[in-house]
Amino acid sequence: MERRDLLSATILAVLLAACSATATAAKTATPPRHEPRRAVSASASAAVSSSSCDVYRGTWVADESYPLYDAASCPFVRKEFDCRRNGRPDTAYLKYRWQPSPPCSLPRFDGRRLLRTWRGKTVAFVGDSLVANQYESLLCMLHAAAPGARTNASWASGSITVRFEDYGVTLVYYLSHYLVDLAGDKAGRTVLKIDAVDEGRKWLAADVLVFGSWRWWARKSWDYIQDGNTVVPDMDRTQAFTKGLQAWARWVDANLLRTTTKVFFQGYSPSHLNGQEWGAPPGKTCSGETQPVRGAAAYYRGQPNPQDAIVRRVLAGMSKPVQLLDITFMSQLRKDGHTTKYSGGSGGPGTDCTHWCVAGVPDTWNTLFYYSVLTAGNTLRS
């Protein structure tokens, strides 16, 4: 079995497809337009580091120099995310670059620089399959930047580890749907302990942590919920999510406040199940979409997603600085970027408007993650 298939089978064994949820609110943006890619100068890089810039507001522009890699040459992307391998015929979705609104700009992703910055460090991604989406994208971006670098991959129950040996950089993915404990009791029942983060012990070895959670809170995968001494069969999911995220925040503050560990949180990744949200007829989904949303002024007329507000409120109340990777708006515009029927048969044809093709939109998430690492002052560098 090829290495990529072995990794795919392993990840598939520990991951279940995250449930779809309704898409969230978005602000307006101009429609994508064709622009040539411009090299980022030293002055542009300096502009990027300005605290006044909101690089998460902008527009998608067509760029023929994209994608940043060929997924067919990446041994780390699982089959379910590899849309081209699964027969997707169009390629325009691969050729969009995120352009922040002026005067902001983004540096082009430099994987070798990132590997040097992280030399000797461990970077861990913790969360559901959308966090895995970003993790595998980053592995492919680094592999393409340093194709000759020696790598080793290993896996255990609920985790994947890839090490770039020549740089001493280890990237780990830990499966955690809720960021709090999901355990079995003596009666064989599954309990969601929304006030406990005992599984966090294995995360403490990381120098950089990227967390993410929400999709699985919308489904019931437990027999009951335990909150301290209170046990209930279920509760309002938004309330449960809030309590769980607060428990995670307490864990971070208690364990990481006095460390140099850098902590990030992946923002809400939208689904595209309701075409009316971008002006399409009733019943339209992401299936068959080949271009980003044009004319974002009419997009997402409803109320903002409450989970996004909860995340912002919890992060703002923490003692440990946690940087939000605010990917929601830019991803809302990419109705064309999902795996749909090109997910290798998992979930049925045309059903997946939640996960993203790799290569694709998660590469931009990681370009912004890269930007965030650079503008943090590279304090991890030895």
**Residues 169-200: tens digit of each pLDDT:** 999 999 999 999 999 999 999 999 999 999 99
- Omega cis (within 30) before 233: no
Minimum mean pLDDT range among 2-16, 82-96, 142-156: 2-16
Q: What is the pLDDT of residue 372?
A: 95
Q: What is the pLDDT of residue 245?
A: 98
Listed residue (349, 363, 380) closest to 86, CA to CA? 349
Q: What are phi and psi of 322, to 5 degrees?
A: -130, 125
Domain 58-376 carries which CATH code? 3.40.50.1110
Q: Is 240 a residue whose pLDDT tops 60?
A: yes
Rounded mean pLDDT of the chain? 85
Distance CA 4, CA 355 (A): 19
Q: Is 205 a residue whose pLDDT tops 70?
A: yes
Q: What is the pLDDT of residues 257-283, one digit of tens each?
A: 999 999 999 999 999 999 988 888 999
Q: Which of 159, 308, 355, 363 is catalytic?
A: 355
Handedness of CA 279, 218, 181, 304 (dihedral sign): positive
Higher pLDDT, 366 or 15: 366
Higher pLDDT, 15 or 371: 371
User: Residue 32 carries which DSSP code?
Assistant: P
Q: In the chain, what are the domain boundaries?
A: 58-376
Q: Which two tokens stand for residue 355?
A: 């996960």
Q: What is the pLDDT of residues 86-129, one digit of tens each?
A: 999 999 999 999 999 999 999 999 999 999 999 999 999 999 99
Query: In the annotation, is 154 catalytic?
Result: no
Mean pLDDT along residues 300-328: 87
Q: Which two tokens stand for residue 26?
A: 């978005």
Collapsed DSSP state (helix, strand, coil) of residue 161: strand
Q: Which of 129, 176, 213, 331 is catalytic?
A: 129
Would you place residue 300 in the very low, low, confident or very high pLDDT band (cuts 50, 70, 90)? low
Q: Which of 82, 308, 352, 363 is catalytic?
A: 352
Would you place residue 46 in the very low, low, confident or very high pLDDT band (cuts 50, 70, 90)? very low
Q: Is 326 a residue whose pLDDT tops 90?
A: yes
Query: In the annotation, is 34 catalytic?
Result: no
Give one DSSP letter per residue of 199-266, joined into a string: GGGGGTT-SEEEE---GGGGS--SSEEEETTEEES---HHHHHHHHHHHHHHHHHHHHTTS--EEEEE
Query: In the annotation, is 129 catalytic?
Result: yes
Give me the percent of the chain exceeding a pLDDT of 70. 81
